[in-house]
Structure 1
Amino acid sequence: MKKVTMNLPEVKDYRLTEGLNQLKTNLAFCGKDIKVITITSSVQNEGKSSVAFDLSKTMAEGGKKILMVDADLRKSVLAAKYHIQGIDKGLSHYLTGQAEIEDIIYETETEGFYLSVAGPLSPDPTSLLDSDQFQKFIDKVREDYDYVIIDAPPLGVVIDAAIIGKYCDGAVLVIEQGVIKRKVVQDVIKQLKRGKVRILGAVLNKVDERIGAYGAYDYKYSYSYYGDSDAEDRH
């Protein structure tokens, strides 16, 4: 298996680390049958890709064998964001018959953390994702990894996340604090439910938290986790 290199920022934020550990623990308590998890959001720039990546890395550091799949075949930012070097082929190569599964999975510098990137952008990603080929991919990686974390496009923009979700065990919705309106989140939740996607919980992201003796504010990640019934009530 080929290995990639990445430029990973050093995490020094205690609250970020604790939030990730809390999210990891809560997902574990969802049950041992929950292995393939979709991460989505309502709109772009809510931080879903960062949540998916950080969660995958945290799980791997906890001793699990993790595959993160970048399934945003429309506007992937993962490879550029982390300056990933050493990628030959991605998910779109496999879904169009140009590669085998083993060709699109890469080992990272973090033990137990494996990665599959989106590959070249597709003119018809919905058809590629709603296919027997994608089903075969999910069936295979489900057997080989403790958890598969799938970074899906924002559901408030395109339908892809609901399509991906029907092949998975559940979805986690990333919500940016103070930006996304309640009605938008409710519409996304309804879309997931219409697609019969199990909603595992939500992540409140980019939370302003009071720090320092004089009440200054900083902008940091914070994670909260709750079930889908609560998500609809609170947002």
Structure 2
Amino acid sequence: MAIQNGFIQIIQDEKRDYQYEEAMKTLRTNIQFSGNGLKVIMLTSAMPDEGKSETSSQLAISMAQTEGRVLFIDADIRKSVLVSRFGGGQQIYGLTQYLTGQRLLGEVLYHTNLPNLDIIFSGPMAPNPAELLSEDAFSKLIAWARNEYDTIIIDTPPLGSVIDGAIIAQRCDGAILVVESGALSYRLVQKAKSQLERTGCRILGAVLNRVDMAGSGYYHRYYGKYSKYTKYYENEPVK
């Protein structure tokens, strides 16, 4: 992807794994059939580096390929990987600058070559992310997005590391937990689930990420009910 004058050119990888594409379509479809009133959906994880940002950005792209306008918000303002991945070294204004009043909404909202997809990047790292996300400015942004878009996908920081995701969850209609296969204990995943439950945000399910399908590469599995993980013991990695 490349950014030019506030416009993002999204180039799809033609060599992307077929199973990956099908799994993403399955995730999209399951969300669409999860019930009415699901406009603002957050994706989070228990710990960093579980593929959460890749999953959330690809989900937003997948949803934009169907009918309806989609806004993707990178709200991981502590350690975003999307700015470096999409920005190509160019100056990008983002969420932190909007929340601190340094930039107007129109200056941080990027359009893409996908007619239905807009993006708000995280912006530079802020010293007080939790406080910024608790301010009225973020609530007003989500309220504005609800009126302008059919779906809002938010990439949030890991729940096991910081409180930011729990703050964002209070403004969302549903949450999806991304879990890297074989990387975490049952206890850590359950802790993240409990944190989400305390926010009152509906848990739509979980994505079991980076499953090695007989050496065929990365893959996603979507579970509509989180209870799928109850078969694992407390100290046993999720496989």
TM-score using structure 1 length: 0.91
1:223: Cα distance to partner? 2.3
User: Cα–Cα, structure 1 residues 157 and 62, in superposed 2: closer, same or farther, change >3 Å?
Assistant: same
User: Cα–Cα, structure 1 residues 158 and 169, in superposed 2: closer, same or farther, change >3 Å?
Assistant: same
Unaligned runs of 5+ in 1: 211-216
- Aligned mate of 1:177, from 160, 177, 181: 181
Which residue pairs with 2:208 in the alignment? 204
Q: Does 1:92 align with 2:90?
A: no
What's the CA shift string for 1:22-69, capped at 9, x where partnerless? 111111112230010010001111000000011000111123211110
- Aligned mate of 2:28, from 4, 24, 28: 24
Residues 162, 195 of structure 1: 8 Å contact kept: yes
Alignment of 1:51-90 (within 5 A): 51-84=55-88, 88-90=92-94
- CA distance in 1: counterparts of 2:231 and 2:41, whole angstroms: 23
- Aligned mate of 1:143, from 124, 128, 147: 147
Give the aligned residue type for 2:131: S
Which residue pairs with 2:7 in the alignment? 3
What's the CA shift string for 1:172-213, capped at 9, x where partnerless? 000000111110000000111112121111001000111xxx
- CA distance in 2: counterparts of 1:171 and 1:87, whole angstroms: 31
Which residue pairs with 2:235 in the alignment? none
RMSD: 1.9
- CA distance in 2: counterparts of 1:222 and 1:168, whole angstroms: 23
Q: Does 1:39 align with 2:37?
A: no
Structure 1 residue matching 2:118: 3-state secondary structure = strand
Unaligned runs of 5+ in 2: 233-237
Residues 83, 123 of structure 2: 8 Å contact kept: no
